[in-house]
Chains A and B, each alone.
Chain A
């Protein structure tokens, strides 16, 4: 990511050139094709990611079921919690379009926290704002699940569907259909473990 690209992102337009340059040196770029994943449930993440371009869907996933939480775009952050610990990720993020993200390793964040600077304040403020927004996205889902769990000790598959979960293969097909041109039909042909990657082929 270049300083100019950073300064074009929402929330970063006022960043002084020097700070933008310093921030761009802190991390590395990551790319994902439509349907590809930037973050996977059960895998640890090196550090938070700032979305530079494209759209990314944040999902809650269990086995082959998923529940979309939010669609993130340029200027939004992913996996801010990985700045604080090495736990496995509890959410996944899949690109809806070709997406580019800028990942800042946990160790860099730790250095920022130890050496106060305007850059560090700007970075942490942006990540905290992203967490507050994620909280707001999670809250209605959490409330619905808590109400359901208070009413029933054990949920059924139908309860999960009622709570907004769906078979991941369905959402992958939708993603694939959006990615291919001319409205051609698609068929999901490979599953990579429980979460389904964007492996599909156009049916000609």
Chain B
């Protein structure tokens, strides 16, 4: 994990790389300018050359990283030392979710695939964000969770496709887009009614 230099480059909400990566990270949610300012105030910028390690499996989870420029790759190293790249990491993606989740160590290796710039939030700064602006912390955790879901789905889709071909299973195209207005589930409607949500038709 890169160490924070004494004079780390600060990040401002108006910085182009911050704006661009945050727009991708928070594509599904509306984040206020105040929340963005609070997030930016806790970030610092680090630069890596291609091949350098951003975070390593088993290392203490002391920070999370939002990739702002360049490409990274998530790798898996098996007990025999064989390394396989299992996912690309693009600008706007957050890695090191373990630091947000309160876990002790990272679960995988992330390396710079090209020269790479990442916006870093130290775990202690994230914890102060939770206390001072929980809404912004919730947005970060929610975005990290949604992104992890997409990555896991991409993996299982790839494996499913290969297995279906091998087994000769007829493939039914699954709709990839969300329905225009996904209605609440029966259970969801029940809870909305119990919690007094009057917006229910």
Genuine A/B complex = yes
Minimal beta-carbon separation of A110 from chain B (angstroms): 9
Interface size, A (range)? 35 or more
Q: Check A155–B149 contact: CB distance below 8 A.
A: no
**Number of interface residues, chain B, beta carbon within 8 A:** 56
Q: Check B159–A145 contact: CB distance below 8 A.
A: yes
The answer to the question of B100 belonging to the interface, with a C-beta cut-off of 8 Å to chain A, is: yes
What number of A-B contacts does a CB cutoff of 8 Å give? 167
B residues in contact with A17, CB < 8 Å: none
Bound: A143/B107 CA distance, A = 14
SS of A interface (majority): helix
B residues in contact with A203, CB < 8 Å: none
Residues A121 and B152 in contact in the complex (CB < 8 Å), given A63-B169, A107-B191, A160-B167 = no
Interface-facing stretch out of B39-47, B48-56, B139-147: B139-147
The answer to the question of B185 belonging to the interface, with a C-beta cut-off of 8 Å to chain A, is: yes
Q: Check A121–B192 contact: CB distance below 8 A.
A: no
Minimal beta-carbon separation of A38 from chain B (angstroms): 15
Which of A88, A125, A145 is B174 in contact with, Cβ under 8 Å?
A: A88
Q: Check B76–A145 contact: CB distance below 8 A.
A: no
A residues in contact with B162, CB < 8 Å: 145, 149, 155
Q: Check B167–A131 contact: CB distance below 8 A.
A: no
Q: Check B188–A157 contact: CB distance below 8 A.
A: no
The answer to the question of A16 belonging to the interface, with a C-beta cut-off of 8 Å to chain B, is: no
Q: Which residues of A from 70 to 117 have beta carbons under 8 Å from B?
A: 80-81, 83-88, 90-91, 103, 105-108, 111-113, 116-117
Q: Which of A121, A141, A143 has the most chain B CB atoms inside 10 A of its CB?
A: A143
| 0/1 string, B166-187, CB within 8 A of A gives 1 | 1101000010001100101101
A residues in contact with B24, CB < 8 Å: none
The answer to the question of A1 belonging to the interface, with a C-beta cut-off of 8 Å to chain B, is: no
Minimal beta-carbon separation of A200 from chain B (angstroms): 24
Q: Which residues of A from 127 to 151 have beta carbons under 8 Å from B?
A: 127-129, 131-136, 138-143, 145-147, 149
A residues in contact with B195, CB < 8 Å: 111
Bound: A38/B152 CA distance, A = 19
| 0/1 string, B16-56, CB within 8 A of A gives 1 | 00000000000001000000000000000000000000000
Q: Check A85–B149 contact: CB distance below 8 A.
A: yes
Q: Check B107–A135 contact: CB distance below 8 A.
A: yes
B residues in contact with A160, CB < 8 Å: 163, 166-167
Q: Check A62–B169 contact: CB distance below 8 A.
A: yes
Q: Which residues of B from 129 to 154 have beta carbons under 8 Å from A?
A: 130, 134-135, 137-139, 141-142, 144-146, 148-149, 151-153
Residues A157 and B167 in contact in the complex (CB < 8 Å), given A124-B142, A129-B103, A149-B162 = yes
Q: Check B178–A135 contact: CB distance below 8 A.
A: no
Q: Check A60–B159 contact: CB distance below 8 A.
A: yes
The answer to the question of A36 belonging to the interface, with a C-beta cut-off of 8 Å to chain B, is: no
In the assembled complex, 10 residue pairs joining A and B whose CB atoms fall closer than 8 Å, in A order, are A46-B185, A90-B157, A107-B184, A124-B141, A125-B141, A128-B144, A131-B148, A132-B103, A140-B76, A146-B85
Q: Please list the residues of chain B having a beta carbon within 8 angstroms of any beta carbon in chain A.
A: 29, 76, 78, 82, 84-86, 97-98, 100-103, 107-108, 130, 134-135, 137-139, 141-142, 144-146, 148-149, 151-153, 155-160, 162-167, 169, 174, 178-179, 182, 184-185, 187-188, 191-192, 194-195
Which 8 A/B pairs are nearest by Cβ-Cβ distance? A107-B188, A81-B149, A90-B156, A116-B134, A143-B84, A129-B101, A136-B107, A143-B76
